[in-house]
Amino acid sequence: AQTVTQSQPEMSVQEAETVTLSCTYDTSENNYYLFWYKQPPSRQMILVIRQEAYKQQNATENRFSVNFQKAAKSFSLKISDSQLGDTAMYFCAFIKPTSNTGNQFYFGTGTSLTVIP
């Protein structure tokens, strides 16, 4: 079974500072995809960043970057220059791309991030 663990239920960061959200996962698969989703109070899940397990290079999207450690099964999200609009619940998620599971996400329990002005 696939499990995703986010050990930080809540975090806060000063505006313009950097914060790192942790995520670990457990799987016996070798090929899979990892995601960070953001869920603001509007409730809509928004994709922040995606990482393919077969790629060694860490994914980056503007102020967002990941530290993907495949052997350690760790997938942390770094947010640089934090902005008030980054305040949201952040979910780490996993998909294994086999033909019978398609788009079934396995989500962590989330980290509530508050950016303090």
Partner 1 sequence: KAGVTQTPRYLIKTRGQQVTLSCSPISGHRSVSWYQQTPGQGLQFLFEYFSETQRNKGNFPGRFSGRQFSNSRSEMNVSTLELGDSALYLCASSHTFRANTEAFFGQGTRLTVV
Q: Which residues bind partner 1 (CB under 8 A)?
A: 32-33, 37, 42-47, 50, 52, 91, 95-97, 100-110
Nearer to partner 1 by Cβ, of 47 and 116: the residue is 47
Shortest Å distance, C-beta 14 to partner 1: 27
Q: CB neighbours (10 Å) of residue 86?
A: 20
User: Whose Cβ is closer to partner 1: residue 11's or residue 80's?
Assistant: 11
Q: In terms of CB distance, is 46 or 84 closer to partner 1?
A: 46
Question: DSSP 3-state assignment of 96?
Answer: coil
Q: Which residue has the tokens 């989330």?
A: 110
Q: Min. distance of Cβ 30 from partner 1 in angstroms? A: 14
Q: How far is the CB of 39 from partner 1 (least distance, A)?
A: 9
Q: Which residues pair with 10 in a beta bridge?
A: 112
Judged by beta carbon, residue 42 or residue 57, the one nearer partner 1 is 42
Contact between 101 and 77 under an 8 Å Cβ cutoff? The reply is no
Please say whether the beta carbons of 112 and 52 come within 8 A.
Answer: no
Closest distance between partner 1 and the C-beta of residue 40, in Å?
A: 10
Q: Residue 31 gets which letter from DSSP?
A: S
> For residue 73, what are its two tokens?
């099964």
